[in-house]
């Protein structure tokens, strides 16, 4: 394993850090309080190329590797986990899915505008009764010859109202189980497609999470990704890479909380000295730093495996499981180190603690990651 980053990777990391610290940080507390999407900031991030990082330049992307993506996700997530999840969904779910499995026309029409930062995408799998149990899709896509007629409801969809391109997983033939599922590209504005209620969330409040409603939406056949019945495998494979994104988001949240805790411990004094000089605090920081470092290595390992073209399914799930678990511990300890200040909204650490929780839930709960990992390590 090569432990040195290339010049290009370091440049991407520096650009993401600069953007996070100078553009995202000033308004992040207000956006969280008001549950406001960073519309202008997302536009700028898109123009800088952070939504199409790994996409082939011929489709308007940056042609970067997954390692660069992990480094950028860490820097953005340290400051604004809401912007980071938008970036993760665009890069690793929507773009990767379209680039890997879409046809040329779909790539030109749908992938390129997202990669160029002109449009935002959403990945629509979860339903009121199909979250972890992804095969139990109730949204139907009935085959009507030249189009599918889509009916149903999707829940908790990230980028629900800011997106204009939606990858929607639907059931076409229930008797065929997961082989009867299709992935369809739905455009904002198609008649019958309604962006429903926005969720009032505990964390990542600057990200727009919505219910989506489909009432007799006519989706042309050419908007199906892959062969008939490929939708479930499309979702599973796409989520594999998505989990590297969310693992990096969780690791970035933890890494941000650690940086804040270190800075605070050097400035705050108790009993006549800076608090980091008390072993109780220094040991907490040592534990936090060790966990962040382990999570970072797991994220980079999964990324390197993906870049090397080897199967990274379990590595991605392990990285997500571990990073999201340590993010709970690290952010909670950061609040503890800040004491009373850590519990008020004027300081960043309480937001990071709330933001961390979702990383154990979306793109497969911790329990789902354990299913994926255990199946992987136990297979013959
Ligand atoms: N790659 C390719 N194919 C895969 C696969 C993978 N990683 N995982 C499973 N499959 C295939 C299997 O080979 C099988 O195909 P065959 O029948 O042809 O052999 C088929 O898919 C069904 O597999 P399983 O029998 O393993 O399916 P299962 O019902 O037991 O479920 C599961 C497996 C891993 C639990 C899956 O349901 C799962 O991942 N659930 C979690 C879903 C999830 O992550 N939801 C998050 C929503 S998206 C989101 O949060 C986005 C956001 O906005 C942030």
Task: Give how far Cα 348 sits from Cα of 22, 76, 241, 243, 336, Å.
Answer: 15, 14, 29, 25, 13
Residue 59's pLDDT is: 98
Q: Which atom, in ligand 1's list, is nearest to the CA of 93?
A: 51
pLDDT of residue 208 exceeding 70: yes
Residue 137's pLDDT is: 84
pLDDT confidence tier of residue 136, bands split at 50, 70 and 90: confident
* Average pLDDT in the chain: 96
In a 3-state reduction of DSSP, which class is residue 49? Answer: coil
Quick one: three-class SS letters along 209-247? EEEEEEEEEEEEHHHECCCCCCHHHHHHHHHHHHHHHHH
- Give yes or no for residue 71 CB within 6 A of ligand 1: no
Digit-coded pLDDT (tens) for 272-291: 999 999 999 999 999 999 99
Alpha helices in 89-230 (DSSP H): 96-101, 104-106, 112-115
Residue 2's pLDDT is: 67
Residue 37's pLDDT is: 98
pLDDT of residue 195 exceeding 70: yes
Nearest CA to ligand 1 atom 11: 233
CA of 139 to the centre of ligand 1 (A): 17
Beta pairing class for 121-124 and 165-171: parallel
CA of 196 to the centre of ligand 1 (A): 26
End-to-end CA distance of the chain: 27
Digit-coded pLDDT (tens) for 74-104: 999 999 999 999 999 999 999 999 999 999 9
DSSP secondary-structure letter at 199?
P
**Residue pair 356/254 in contact by the 8 Å Cβ criterion:** yes
Bridge partners (DSSP) listed for residue 193: 214
Residue 128's pLDDT is: 86
CA of 222 to the centre of ligand 1 (A): 24
- 363 annotated active-site: yes
CA of 135 to the centre of ligand 1 (A): 8
For residues 25 and 233, what is the distance between their CA atoms, to the nearest angstrom? 38
pLDDT confidence tier of residue 135, bands split at 50, 70 and 90: confident
Cα 184 to chain centroid distance, Å, stands at 20
pLDDT of residue 227 exceeding 70: yes
- The CA-CA-CA angle for residues 102, 105, 109, to 5°, reads 95
For residues 314 and 192, what is the distance between their CA atoms, to the nearest angstrom? 39
Q: Which atom, in ligand 1's list, is nearest to the CA of 240?
A: 7
Torsion sign (Cα): 62, 64, 70, 75: negative
Q: Which atom, in ligand 1's list, is nearest to the CA of 232?
A: 21
CA of 369 to the centre of ligand 1 (A): 11
- Give yes or no for residue 315 CB within 6 A of ligand 1: no
Alpha helices in 134-230 (DSSP H): none
CA of 284 to the centre of ligand 1 (A): 38
- Give yes or no for residue 137 CB within 6 A of ligand 1: no
Q: What is the mean pLDDT of residues 180-204?
A: 97
For residues 239 and 251, what is the distance between their CA atoms, to the nearest angstrom? 18
- Give yes or no for residue 362 CB within 6 A of ligand 1: yes
- The CA-CA-CA angle for residues 96, 100, 105, to 5°, reads 105
- For 287-303, b/e burial (b = at least 16 CB within 10 A) is ebbebbeebbebbbbbb
Phi and psi at 197, nearest 5°, equal -55, 145
- Give yes or no for residue 110 CB within 6 A of ligand 1: no
Neighbours of 129 (CB within 10 A): 11
- Helix, strand, coil shares of the chain, percent, nearest 5, are 60, 15, 25
- Give yes or no for residue 86 CB within 6 A of ligand 1: no
This prediction has a pTM of 0.97
Torsion sign (Cα): 365, 371, 374, 375: negative
Bridge partners (DSSP) listed for residue 127: 130
pLDDT confidence tier of residue 221, bands split at 50, 70 and 90: very high
Q: What is the mean pLDDT of residues 357-379?
A: 96
- Give yes or no for residue 89 CB within 6 A of ligand 1: yes
For residues 187 and 128, what is the distance between their CA atoms, to the nearest angstrom? 22
Cβ burial of 34 (10 Å; 0-12, 13-18, 19+) is exposed
pLDDT confidence tier of residue 202, bands split at 50, 70 and 90: very high
- Give yes or no for residue 313 CB within 6 A of ligand 1: yes
Q: What is the mean pLDDT of residues 292-306?
A: 97
For residues 60 and 179, what is the distance between their CA atoms, to the nearest angstrom? 33
Nearest CA to ligand 1 atom 36: 134
**Residue pair 326/291 in contact by the 8 Å Cβ criterion:** yes
- The CA-CA-CA angle for residues 315, 354, 154, to 5°, reads 70
Q: Considering 74, 99, 333, 363, which one is annotated as catalytic?
A: 363
Ligand 1 pocket, mutate which of 209, 233, 366 (most atoms under 8 A from CB): 233
In a 3-state reduction of DSSP, which class is residue 64? Answer: coil
Nearest CA to ligand 1 atom 53: 158
CATH numbers and ranges of domains, the chain: 7-120 (1.10.540.10), 122-231 (2.40.110.10), 233-378 (1.20.140.10)
Return the percentage of the chain with pLDDT > 90, whole number.
Answer: 95
């Amino acid at each position: 394993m090569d432990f040195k980053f290339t010049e290009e990777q370091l440049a991407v990391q520096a650009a993401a850090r600069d953007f996070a610290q100078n553009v995202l940080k000033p308004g992040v507390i207000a956006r969280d309080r008001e549950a406001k999407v960073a519309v202008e900031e997302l536009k700028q991030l898109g123009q800088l190329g952070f939504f199409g990082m790994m996409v082939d330049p011929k489709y308007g992307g940056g042609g970067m590797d997954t390692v660069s993506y992990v480094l950028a996700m860490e820097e953005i997530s340290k400051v604004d986990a809401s912007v980071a999840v938008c970036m993760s969904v665009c890069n690793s779910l929507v773009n990767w899915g379209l680039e890997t499995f879409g046809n040329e026309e779909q790539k030109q029409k749908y992938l390129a505008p997202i990669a160029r930062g002109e449009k935002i995408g959403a990945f629509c799998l979860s339903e009121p009764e199909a979250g972890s149990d992804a095969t139990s899709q109730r949204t139907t896509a009935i085959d009507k010859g030249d189009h599918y007629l889509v009916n149903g409801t999707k829940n908790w969809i990230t980028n629900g109202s800011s997106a204009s391109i939606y990858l929607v997983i639907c059931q076409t033939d229930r008797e065929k189980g997961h082989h009867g599922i299709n992935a369809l590209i739905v455009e904002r504005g198609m008649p019958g497609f309604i962006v429903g209620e926005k969720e009032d969330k505990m964390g990542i409040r600057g990200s727009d999470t919505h219910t989506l409603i489909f009432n007799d939406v006519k989706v042309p056949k050419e908007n199906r990704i892959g062969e008939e019945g490929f939708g479930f495998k499309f979702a599973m494979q796409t989520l594999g890479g998505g989990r590297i994104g969310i693992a990096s988001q969780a690791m970035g949240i933890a890494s941000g909380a650690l940086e804040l805790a270190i800075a605070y411990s050097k400035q705050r004094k108790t009993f006549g000295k800076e608090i980091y000089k008390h072993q109780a605090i220094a040991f907490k920081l040592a534990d936090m730093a060790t966990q962040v470092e382990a999570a970072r290595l797991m994220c980079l390992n999964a990324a390197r495996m993906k870049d090397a073209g080897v199967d990274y399914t379990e590595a991605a799930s392990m990285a997500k499981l571990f990073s999201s678990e340590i993010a709970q511990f690290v952010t909670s300890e950061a609040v503890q180190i800040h004491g009373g200040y850590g519990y008020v909204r004027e300081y960043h650490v309480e937001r990071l603690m709330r933001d961390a929780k979702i990383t154990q839930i979306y793109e497969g709960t911790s329990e789902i990651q354990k299913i994926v990992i255990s199946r992987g390590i136990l297979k013959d």
